[in-house]
Chains A and B, each alone.
Chain A
Amino acid sequence: MTSLPEGPNENKLEQISRILIDDSSRVPVSLWFASSVFWLLMGSVAAMISSVKLHHPDFLGNIEWLTFGRIRPVHLDIVFYGWSSMAAVGCLLWLQARLCHVKLPWPLLLSGLAMVWNVGVCVGVVAVLAGHGSSIEYLEFPAYCAPFFAIPALGVLAANVKMYVTKESQHTYVSQWYLLAATVWLPILYVTAMACTYFGLVQGVSQAITNWWFGHNALGLWVTPIAVATAYYLIPKVTGKPVHSYHLSLLGFWSLAIFYNWAGTHHLTGGPLPAWTITVGVVGSMMMFIPVITVAINHHMTMRGVFHMLKTSPTLRFTVFGSVMYTVASFQGSLEALRSHQEITHFTQYTIGHAHLGLYGFFSMIMFGAMYYIFPRITNNEWSSARLIKVHFWGSSIGVLAYGAGLCWAGWWQGMMMIDPGIPFLETVAYIRPYLIMRSVSGAGMTIAHIAFAISVWRILSRHHFVMSGPTLFTTARPAWREFVNEQEKREQAELEAQS
């Protein structure tokens, strides 16, 4: 249970094995990551269309395929299945191989599974746009899409277990627990929820509970553990400091496993369900303070004394931002589950603001940080431009903070107005409209950030753009891209001349 520091005094053998491990994961991890970045862009497009439609309903108004009720679930599904899940898989494969000190098994199979997953997202998106969606949040894709996700999920589970069982490292690091658990939970969650939803295994309002048992756990038991595991790995790795407390991380893991499971029914507060199901959800949500506080203490204490590194390291800055947002969004989420709070904010934009603080501010930011760390190692290349990374960081962070704060504020007052029957409903609509416009603006900032990120990823993956001169930090001044290419061409020209 140490932090596996990557220092000058570690032995050569370990360095070589590390290079071999990174080599083995090059193709599959690059494929899962590159696909996720593609879906991130697609998800941003769908997000912008739905966001603009909400304040200008006549925008692309007469195209049935792009009506709000279709493009909005398409946004959610692209972001969840395409971006988040694919980024999470790439991250977990690489992390588990590194932590187990074994090569990634079956690279060809895992690459194939990435393509199967991509086909699943494509088919699902077209189906929802064509009107075959189910209108069940997070499970909109029709039943025939299920094998495209269930089979790769089982394959990833098998690879993960195989690595863990054959591990060469002597210790189990806390991240490995999270990674193992997440891959066990996902197939169970997904297959059970799809079966209940599409084959009528449960009746009446139990369908709604199944929906939120899946919807909430898909975030809490699939993407959250992977992001927490990643932060647990990256923060000590980049700072070179060990994790603060082993016992806390153990407590954090098992309390997440036990309590997050039960929290989903708070999405149905006030609904036509037995009161005890909601109470269980509220209790589960309140108990989430335990895992969240333990992770917060552990990460904060690890960072103590090295906060200055946030100035230089992109990986660390994204990851620590995400880690802080985990605490913020989780505290908010726990309080939001209370009945007195839900009376106001349920059914309003507040929920949307919270969802983005969680899935974007916390999860996506940590994934960005991880990709900034992992891509150079699996491609043997460096990031081409510190400026692009800066654009990415500031666009994403300011964007999501403005988005979350704006919508939570607007949602709160929207809810207060809805409680008061003296205020006509259309006045609540008029009240939130300026905030919906503000949401489009902050969304545009995030989209610009994603474009900058995608350019960076494209360059690091493309063989023409080798940058070999040390890691790219925020303070690294690289020549402007054109100049850089020119220089490189000149250098190659000179080499050619020297040879002839």
Chain B
Amino acid sequence: MNRTPFIIFGVFLTIAFSLSGLVLIPNWQFQDHKPVINTRDGSQYPVPYFGMALQGRDVYVDQGCTYCHTQQVRAKGYGGDIRRNWGNRRTVARDYMYEFPVLLGTMRTGPDLANIGARQPSRDWHYLHLYNPQITSAGSIMPRFQYLFRTIKAGELAPSGAIPLPPAFQADGTHIVPTARGEQLVEYLRAQNRTFPLPEAKQ
């Protein structure tokens, strides 16, 4: 008896089932998601990334930030996410409806970034942290992203856009200015804000 068609059909079925169950059905379940409007001030959430933040997402992807940072907050009572102040509520599917690619991440060598824009709104903090993580977070094992900055030899006056390095980290007579990619990455990070109250995420 030739059982080849039986085996091949059987193994094909197993994967067709899991593809429909895990990928197609959830995709269908989410397709009618719509943004929420805040009745008080008319603001909409979520909004797609635009401008420099959108360009910054490509920098985030190409630098592989996702290999050490997640962008998801787990529910209250599950893990320490909310008690660590990484968000005021859990993140839900609607938070990511415009994201392509979705960068949930699976590793927290560094802290979660789902709301880093709300936690650290200051551009300067991000520039210092990217230029040398030891300035803002001593003991960090994050690499320095100095190639996202230019060194400018300058006189007494700092050029516009120079980052406020503490004296200990600054070579004499030079100033450090972010490159376009550096600026884009920081705008992307500052856009990481998933604090808008959503009806399906009470906690």
Contact = CB atoms under 8 A, between A and B. Distances in A.
Interface string B97-114: 111111111111101000
Nearest to A55: B141
Contacts of A184: 8, 11-12, 15
B64 A272 contact: no
Interface stretch (B36-44, B67-75, B156-164, B170-178): B67-75
A3 B174 CA distance: 74
B33 interface: yes
Nearest to A340: B78
A206 B30 contact: yes
Interface string A388-427: 0000000000000000000000000000001111000110
Interface string B9-52: 01110110111011100110111010000000000000000000
B197 interface: no
A134 B101 contact: yes
A268 B22 CA distance: 12
Interface string A348-370: 10010000000000000000000
B143 A53 contact: yes
B91 interface: yes
Contacts of B12: 184, 188
Interface stretch (A104-112, A257-265, A479-487): A257-265
Contacts of A348: 107-108
A57 B130 CA distance: 13
Indicate the size class of the contact surface on chain B: 35 or more
B84 A421 contact: yes
B65 interface: yes
A204 B104 contact: no
A430 B109 CA distance: 11
Contacts of A73: 64, 67
A261 B15 contact: yes
Interface stretch (A37-45, A192-200, A453-461, A462-470): A192-200
Nearest to A225: B11
Given A188-B12, A257-B14, A202 B66 contact: no
B100 to A, nearest CB: 6
B64 A68 contact: yes
Interface in B143-170: 143-147
A54 B64 CA distance: 14
Contact of A272 (B17, B80, B92, B100): B92
A150 interface: no
A204 B23 contact: no
Contacts of A185: 11, 15
B14 A205 contact: no
B144 A57 contact: yes
Contacts of B15: 184-185, 188-189, 217, 221, 261
Given A205-B30, A272-B91, A351 B106 contact: yes
Given A271-B72, A421-B84, A205 B102 contact: yes
Contacts of B19: 188, 192, 213
Interface string A413-445: 000001111000110011001001000000000
B22 A164 contact: no
B29 to A, nearest CB: 7
B77 to A, nearest CB: 9
A93 interface: no
**Which 7 pairs of residues, A with B, have the shortest CB-CB distance?**
A69-B64, A261-B18, A131-B62, A421-B83, A347-B108, A270-B74, A206-B27
Interface of A: 53-55, 57-58, 61-62, 64, 67-70, 72-73, 131-137, 161, 164-165, 172, 177, 180-181, 184-185, 188-189, 192, 196-197, 200, 202-210, 213, 217, 221, 254, 257-258, 261-262, 264-265, 267-268, 270-274, 277, 280, 339, 343, 346-348, 351, 418-421, 425-426, 429-430, 433, 436
